[in-house]
Amino acid sequence: MKLVTFEMDGRMGSGALHPDGGIVDLTDLGGVLELLTNAEARMAAERRLADPAVKRLTQGLRLRAPLTPRAFICIGLNYMDHVKESSARVPARPVVFAKCPNALAGPDDVITWHADVTQQVDWEAELGVVIGQRCYRVAKAEALRYVGGYTCVNDLSARDIQLTDSAGQYTLGKTLDGFCPIGPCLVTADEIPDPQNLTIRCLVNDEVRQHSNTREMIFGVADLIAHLSRFMTLMPGDLIATGTPPGVGMGMKPPVWLRDGDRVAVEIEGIGALTNTCRVL
Ligand code: MG
């Protein structure tokens, strides 16, 4: 299922994208996290989606972030060519940092920042993994069982804060308000049996800036879950942003940054496109 959170007539609802278009309302069965983790709600949702007579919502609704992650765990430098364009060393173990809940944004949200805070905002298309079951110290071979679903993430990054102002720490320049758009939907893990074979792209104003495949990750999704869960209990709703492929603005010569009015889209095969517009204040 492709689960969504939507806003309609001033209320928030949950639903699933119907293969023939429109959204099937699942609000009475629970929110997206519940649909992901509660087997009974999940089966009821699947039955409703399969009903040929089901009513589909097509108008007057707006997609929001598919869920509010419990934690925003991010992996840096996880594609070889991105390590090179960042002039960084190849990591022996995953590079881990975090974003905070203020960074959450959804599909079509306008992302704003103040010009006196940053002038170097960059895009980072990433596969987002949402944990579906509590896990601690799981083996790599078992790790994918704990995935609830997948979504697109744009790990927006203020490079001047990340690299210049803050002596190399990541988090502050990555967690400005709205700097973690996710969506447009959360695809349940059963629809993506192999997360290491997905085309991933980023387009700025319809121009392709990143184009890669998740098979190019240095540490795959199973490696990341096994590694993280050695140190911390992962819980349902935790988001892992798995790192970005090459083609970020920082790596261009000369560097290119997002500007007022730019439209930035993250596209992942089997998930969809997450589009946001930039507004500089
Ligand atoms: Mg990133």
Quick: pLDDT tens for 255-264: 999 999 999 9
Look at the pTM and tell me if it is higher than 0.85: yes
pLDDT at 84 over 90: no
What per-residue confidence (pLDDT) applies to 166?
A: 65
pLDDT at 11 over 70: yes
Ligand 1 midpoint to CA 261 (Å):
22
Question: To 10 degrees, the CA torsion angle through 226, 132, 153, 253?
Answer: 10
Question: Who surrounds ion ligand 1 at CB < 5 A?
Answer: 124, 155, 244
C-alpha closest to that of 225 among 151, 134, 156: 134
Ligand 1 midpoint to CA 6 (Å):
26
Section 210-230 average pLDDT:
97
Ligand 1 midpoint to CA 74 (Å):
6
pLDDT-based confidence at 271, cuts 50/70/90? Answer: very high
Ligand 1 midpoint to CA 127 (Å):
10
Residue 166 or residue 262, greater confidence: 262
- First-last CA distance in the chain: 38
Ligand 1 midpoint to CA 225 (Å):
17
Helix, strand, or coil (residue 114): coil
Residues in the chain: 281
| 157 burial via Cβ count (<10 Å: 0-12, 13-18, 19+) | buried
